[in-house]
């Protein structure tokens, strides 16, 4: 069994990350600060197009063509934005791994699952063929499968089983950081619950830091220690998961929570967030959410808010000029 990751070094530390793309008038990511400690689960939530996936993929330097970056993205202490090709390849093999949204799109249907699990670590010389097979069997058992899966093709297993294979593949190199980009979206509800429970057990067993990207706030609350809420390429709010959901201090977070279906009110009408996120071809001088916010004032249009801590809780921060107007009942508004 591989040792737990018990280092004090953060698994992921993003500081001031800015990414500009050709044809845009403003950054697609604008000053992102985000940390995932060893053995911690952090959720990154927000609407489609908010920058969640790009933020997570920056930890692997999987960036769009023509991307211009500023800031730092430290994975286990190494800045992936400045690594040369060989060191980046080594980091991707042994230090950070990603679970993609659709497992069938990420696995070659013409190769056996055993080949998929062992190929990369063998090609890089990280393990011998015998060591790789033993590790693959160990991880398949850890995700609830057995060695017989090694001989099967992807078409011979269910979507839920294939997602478990993807998780096992991500853990092959014993990464310090695991990136999960909407890993349950393509699964049915029952299988989603199984995969979420599995990720929690594996995090505890292997001590891996987990960055979980999702648009599902309830799912984020269930799995994470801390939450970052993104909007239009910026961090709107961040803090402990229970505090974020019980006491949202940004109007966007409160609006997302108000639009979530609740079992206690199944017939109630869901709240909607009027308007659309700002176009990337339009520059922003103030708060990105101002045009859709019921609390917006002239100040919001003129000046972008800085993250401010909640009274008595410095780890709970919201980038809003009017966060003091939101209380613990903001979700019910």
Residues constituting the chain = 333
State the average pLDDT over residues 261-268: 63
In terms of average pLDDT, the best of 7-11, 207-211, 239-243 is 239-243
In a domain, 321, yes or no: yes
Higher pLDDT, 93 or 290: 290
DSSP 277: P
* pLDDT tens-digit readout, 29-61: 999 999 999 889 999 999 888 999 999 999 999
Question: What are 185-206's pLDDT values in tens digits?
Answer: 766 777 777 778 878 877 887 7
What does the block give as tokens for 54? 């790009």
Residue 243 above 50 pLDDT? yes
> Which residue range(s) make up the domain with 299?
246-333
List the single range of 85-99, 135-149, 185-199, 244-258 with lowest mean pLDDT: 185-199
pLDDT, residue 262, reads: 66
Checking if the pLDDT of 258 tops 50, the result is yes
Considering the domain boundaries, does residue 106 fall inside one? Answer: no
User: Is 300 within a domain?
Assistant: yes
Cα pseudo-dihedral 113, 115, 120, 122, rounded to 10: 140
Query: Does residue 51 fall inside a structural domain?
Result: no
DSSP 149: G
Domain assignment present for 31: no
Task: Give the pLDDT score at 265.
Answer: 61
Could you tell me which residue, 122 or 8, shows the higher pLDDT? 122
Number of domains in the chain: 1
The continuous run of DSSP H or E covering 236 comes out as strand 234-240
Residues of the chain above pLDDT 90, percent: 58
- Confidence check: pLDDT of 276 > 80: yes
First to last CA, the chain: 50
Q: Quick one: average pLDDT of 80-108?
A: 89
Q: Residues near 157 by Cβ (< 8 Å), separated by ≥ 6? A: 113, 149, 165
| 277-293 average pLDDT score | 92
């Amino acid at each position: 069994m591989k040792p737990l990751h018990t280092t004090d070094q953060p698994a992921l530390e993003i500081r001031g990350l800015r990414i500009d793309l050709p044809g845009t008038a403003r950054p697609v990511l604008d000053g992102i600060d985000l940390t995932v400690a060893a053995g911690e689960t952090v959720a990154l939530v927000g609407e489609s197009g908010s920058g969640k996936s790009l933020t997570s993929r920056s930890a692997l330097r999987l960036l769009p063509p023509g991307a211009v970056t500023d800031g730092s993205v430290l994975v286990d202490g190494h800045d992936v934005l400045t690594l040369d090709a060989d060191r980046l390849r080594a980091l991707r093999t042994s230090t950070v791994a990603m679970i993609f949204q659709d497992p069938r799109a990420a696995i070659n249907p013409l190769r056996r699952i055993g080949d998929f699990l062992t190929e990369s670590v063998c090609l890089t010389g990280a393990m011998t063929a015998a060591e790789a097979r033993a590790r693959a069997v160990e991880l398949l058992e850890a995700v609830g499968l057995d060695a017989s899966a090694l001989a099967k093709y992807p078409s011979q297993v269910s979507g839920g089983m294939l997602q478990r294979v993807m998780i096992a593949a991500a853990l092959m190199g014993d990464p310090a950081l695991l990136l999960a980009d909407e890993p349950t979206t393509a699964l049915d509800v029952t299988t989603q619950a199984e995969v979420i429970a599995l990720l929690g057990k594996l995090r505890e067993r292997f001590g891996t830091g987990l960055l979980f990207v999702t648009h599902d706030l309830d799912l984020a609350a269930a799995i994470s220690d801390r939450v970052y809420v993104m909007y239009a390429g910026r961090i709107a709010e961040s803090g402990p998961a229970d505090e974020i959901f019980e006491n949202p201090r940004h109007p966007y977070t409160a609006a997302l929570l108000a639009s979530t279906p609740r079992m206690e009110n199944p017939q109630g009408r869901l709240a909607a967030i009027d308007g659309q996120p700002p176009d990337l071809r339009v520059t922003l001088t103030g708060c990105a959410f101002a045009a859709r916010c019921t609390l917006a004032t002239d100040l919001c249009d003129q000046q972008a808010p800085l993250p401010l801590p909640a009274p008595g809780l410095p780890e709970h921060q919201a980038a809003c000029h009017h966060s003091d107007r939101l209380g613990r009942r903001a979700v019910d508004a």
